[in-house]
Chains A and B, each alone.
Chain A
Amino acid sequence: MIWESRELTLLLARRNVHLRYQYTVAGLGWALLQPLLTVIVLSAFRLMMGYRTTDNVPYGLYVGTSLVPWTFFVHALTLSAHSVLKHTSVLFKVHFPRIVLPLSSVAGAAADLVIGLALLPILMIYFRFLPHWTILLLPLFALQVVLFAAGLGIWMAYLNTKYRDLANALPFLTQLWFFLTPIAYTSNVIADKWRPLAGLNPMLGIIEGFRYAITGAANPFMPVWALTSLAITAFLLVTGTYRFLQTEDILTDLI
């Protein structure tokens, strides 16, 4: 059923992207500007704090590599959390597979991810950094972050319909999540004994994966984190889809 509605999903995703940037000056450039500006702010912050991170990789590139998937993730999550309520009126008028709402939100955000990835070569040129061969693995980690965003996004779409608290809490929660994930700092700060547990944050494996792809160096725990992340992603996708399809019929009763 999800496969049958791929055309609708893509059309809705395209419509969302189109509407988001239709009356903006920068257009899709926003997908580039957001991580870029964050890179600049974090770099300035690091200078002020005198925080030393990585010796062989420029900090700007290091943090940019993690900010690209992170920016996408937050964006996809926010869009899918609001996706059902945003379409309330049409939900009451037309019968269609409701799951296209969160799925198209993630697909629309994925368009931003593709643009955002263009930031990486820009940073590499700026810092005169030659990428490692592992950059060939980048699409795999990019796919993983999209799947994880979809798994959690489907859950968010359902939960936010039932408990509107979520929409209020989400910006705050993602902000906390940002600080708890080694995005602005390196994963080396995680004490050895906490490393297996830290992998329960699926974004850790993904971000370390992105870093590995670009720089060829990563925390030795990266494969474990990446696999834990993959397992959690699969779990969220299966349970989320099941739950959503189960509730699909009564979604209009929850609104």
Chain B
Amino acid sequence: MQPQSNIILPKADPVIDVRGLGKRYHRDHVKLPSAHETIEGAIRRASGWSKPAPPDEFWAVKDCSFQVNRGETVGIMGRNGAGKSVLLKMLARVIKPTAGEALLRGRVTALLELGSGFHPDMTGRENIFFSGAIRGYGRAEMNRRLPEIVDFSGVGSFLDTAVKRYSSGMFMRLAFSVAIHLDMEILILDEVLAVGDAGFRDRCLEKVREVSRNGCTILMVSHEKGVVSDFCTRALYIDHGQLIMDGAVEDVLELYRTGTLSDPLASRSSVA
């Protein structure tokens, strides 16, 4: 592990420890060779007609290393396709890294999308309990949280109505409410706050702030400068799957805006 002198560590208690994390994909990974292609390939190789094509690989995330201390809120910025979501998915353990490892200490809630696991034909109540169960929270625990969840979501008398009858705003409020009221120590957010009207967004952000105040460690992907500078104590900048910068929010915002580092002092961090 290399020393990272440019990071201001509040207190060294890393709850997220990412080491050399990488994910390699084959551009054609989904396609299995069909029967005739397999035979054709075998003949070609046997007869020496042609060399097998080099595997078409690319690294969606490559050699990422960083730590996040307890209670920190860290923003992740980068252009579309930079690898932010793949990184978060590896941290959320829905994708297995090709290289390296990510250690997360404590209960994790990954909110990669609002309403994951919700079924339109099920009622709000049923979806609340299912959402909890799929994240490992039992019936008793969800029962305890139910009043808070319902209260924040404002679904009120629609609690026992199928969520397909909900307005999209109501649906999002409920989905966000279930996730945010779980008892977690690490929260991973992937741009989920970009949807919804301003009122909803502000209430969600207020809730995130509250969760943060209670000591929860937060990792969030956002394209919104305001959100990142308001919430984050630190930020990461990712480009072409690589961690370009790990430092102060202003520096990362500058890099995100211009694509270059204008401040020569900032180049002390690892610029490729």
A 230-255 contacts with B by CB, 8 A: 249-250, 252-253, 255
Count A/B pairs, Cβ under 8 Å.
63
B136 contacts across to A, CB distance below 8 A: 8, 96
Q: Does B116 contact A (CB under 8 A)?
A: yes
A2 smallest CB distance to B (angstroms)? 14
A250 contacts across to B, CB distance below 8 A: 96
- The answer to whether B113 touches A93 (Cβ under 8 A) is yes
Q: Which of B89, B92, B139 contacts A7 (CB 8 A)?
A: B139
Q: Does A89 contact B (CB under 8 A)?
A: yes
CA distance A22 to B162 in the complex (A): 12
- The answer to whether A249 touches B112 (Cβ under 8 A) is no
CA distance A117 to B93 in the complex (A): 41
User: A10-40, CB under 8 A of B: which get 1 and which 0?
Assistant: 0110010011001000000000000000000
A16 smallest CB distance to B (angstroms)? 10
CA distance A39 to B163 in the complex (A): 40
Q: Does A128 contact B (CB under 8 A)?
A: no
Q: Does B130 contact A (CB under 8 A)?
A: yes
B40 contacts across to A, CB distance below 8 A: none
Chain B facing A: main interface SS: loop
Q: Spot the interface stretch: B1-9, B76-84, B118-126, B258-266.
A: B118-126
CA distance A96 to B131 in the complex (A): 11
B126 contacts across to A, CB distance below 8 A: 15
- The answer to whether B117 touches A249 (Cβ under 8 A) is no
Q: Which of A8, A89, A96, A163 contacts B32 (CB 8 A)?
A: A163
Q: Does A94 contact B (CB under 8 A)?
A: yes
Specify the chain A residue showing the minimal Cβ separation from B34: A165
Q: Which of A12, A90, A252 contacts B116 (CB 8 A)?
A: A90
CA distance A92 to B93 in the complex (A): 9
User: B53-95, CB under 8 A of A: which get 1 and which 0?
Assistant: 0000000000000000000000000000000000001001111
CA distance A96 to B134 in the complex (A): 6
Q: Which of A89, A90, A249, A252 contacts B134 (CB 8 A)?
A: A90
User: B86-115, CB under 8 A of A: which get 1 and which 0?
Assistant: 000100111110000000000010101100
A22 contacts across to B, CB distance below 8 A: 121
What is B's interface to A at a CB cutoff of 8 Å? 29-30, 32, 89, 92-96, 108, 110, 112-113, 116-117, 119, 121-122, 126, 129-130, 133-136, 138-139
Other CB < 8 Å A-B pairs besides A18-B122, A92-B89, A94-B117, 10 of them?
A8-B133, A8-B134, A11-B130, A19-B119, A22-B121, A93-B112, A93-B116, A94-B92, A95-B110, A96-B135
What is A's interface to B at a CB cutoff of 8 Å? 7-8, 11-12, 15, 18-19, 22, 89-96, 163, 249-250, 252-253, 255
